Amino acid sequence: MNSRRRLALGAATALSLFLAAGVSLAAAKAEPIRLGAPLATAFLYGWDAERGIRLAVEEINAAGGVKVGKTKRPLTVDVIDTRDLEPGVPVDDAIKAVEKLILQKKVDFLVGGPVRSEAALAVMDLLSQHKKVSIITTGVLSPAYTKTVADNYDKYKYAFRNSSHVGVLIKDMVTVFDKIKAEHGLQKVFIMVQDVAHARKAGEGMEKTLKEKGYQVVGTEIYPTGTTDFAPGLLKAKKAEADVLFVWMDMPETAILLKQWSDFKLKVLPIGFMAAGEQPGFWNSSKGAAQYTLVNAVNGGNAPATITPWTDKFVKAYTKRWKLEPEGYGTSSSYMAVYQLKDAIERAGSLDPDAVVKALETQDLQGVYGRMRFDPKTHQIIPATDPKEGAIGSVFQWQNGKRVVVWPDAGATGKIQVPEWFK
């Protein structure tokens, strides 16, 4: 087969694939806008982000694509595994993954990760070097990411984050602590965190803030990534007569922690940032051990809620497409990042990175978890507890097999409960 015929067949195949995906004929003929998604695909914060991104891409393409000037163009997405949540994997692996997306895959924009804060911070120089606009949507909870933008805007202006960070999450968690204290009288706290940057900072921040507010912090334990036995720490919490267990871990082994807590029937209510506890299937996999666990899912819409009209639409679309509810942190934010880029590109009328940066800085978009606006100096999504004012968070509690959102009031579907053995 000669080269001209091979090229023709390849073009015909690509066209048929776009049409099968619901892309209009005009958009299918146009040059696609290429998204790169560097993600830890073997972990929740990677695979749910990928699903959120792919769902948004499919919806936008089915509606005709992205209007760039007078031309409608389809989106494509290349996902690459950064492996940055795996124990012992060096940050350099994530850098190489992003380099591959930029230099070999020739992506126009980046969405998703890297997921680990240390990796995302290391990649910022690549964004500057190649002028690639990136929206971090999952992981990367260190405040240092957007502080870096503020400290050296001209160099790092291509970096945005539409999810949250430790500083915001601490404020959110303390508000939930106050709610638990007011409703159930619990105020003696034992802290368990993972030995990674964002978790250590969260533990330190929570301890400081809780003490300032009059709570008793009766102990702290720090665990290496991959730990499989939390019994000694749980028994320390029992001995210290703690009644709240604050956990901050993104490793899947938190499933073991919660199973041991349930088996011991400790009079201590678990609450925090826990990867395993976020997933819809955790109830069955834990055999009900998740009951009463309070989980910070970071952004609204990562569990079914009633925030905006788009929230319900997103939850239904995700459930239909992937056969399960939104899975936790990284889901709604990754989905929204694609729509944020679409809006910015269309208002810029161009894929020019500097024009898209300016369009993102002036963006005001009502989304799945509220009003989506970036701080123009830090490129951090502006948080709020009112979805009319900003992007809201989500704390849910496992109750009888369901994830019931209990905070903030906007989007809440139930109230906080405590175990029967507390009484």
Q: What is the pLDDT, as a whole number, of residue 21?
A: 53
Q: What is the pLDDT, as a whole number, of residue 126?
A: 97
pLDDT per residue as tens digits for the range 114-170: 999 999 999 999 999 999 999 999 999 889 999 999 999 999 999 999 999 988 999
Q: What is the pLDDT, as a whole number, of residue 13?
A: 53
Q: What is the pLDDT, as a whole number, of residue 6?
A: 53
Encode burial over 19-30: b for 16+ CB neighbours within 10 A, e otherwise: eeebbbeebbbb
Q: What is the pLDDT, as a whole number, of residue 251?
A: 84
Q: What is the pLDDT, as a whole number, of residue 303?
A: 94
pLDDT per residue as tens digits for the range 209-268: 999 999 999 999 999 988 999 999 999 999 999 999 999 998 888 889 989 999 999 999
Dihedral through CA 142, CA 144, CA 145, CA 149, nearest 10? 160
What are the structure tokens assigned to 155, written together? Answer: 């160099």
- Give the pLDDT mean for 395-413: 95
Where would I find the H helices in 104-143?
A: 117-130
pLDDT band at 5 (very low <50, low <70, confident <90, very high): low
β-pair partners for 12: none
Contact 22, 58 (CB under 8 A): yes
Q: Which residue has the tokens 């912090």?
A: 217
pLDDT per residue as tens digits for the range 387-398: 999 999 999 999
Instruction: Tell me whether the omega of the peptide bond preceding residue 353 falls within 30 degrees of 0, making it cis.
Output: no
pLDDT per residue as tens digits for the range 68-104: 999 999 999 999 999 998 878 999 999 999 999 999 9
With CA atoms as reference, report the closest residue to 338 among 23, 21, 34, 29.
Answer: 34
Q: What is the pLDDT, as a whole number, of residue 15?
A: 53
Q: What is the pLDDT, as a whole number, of residue 401?
A: 94
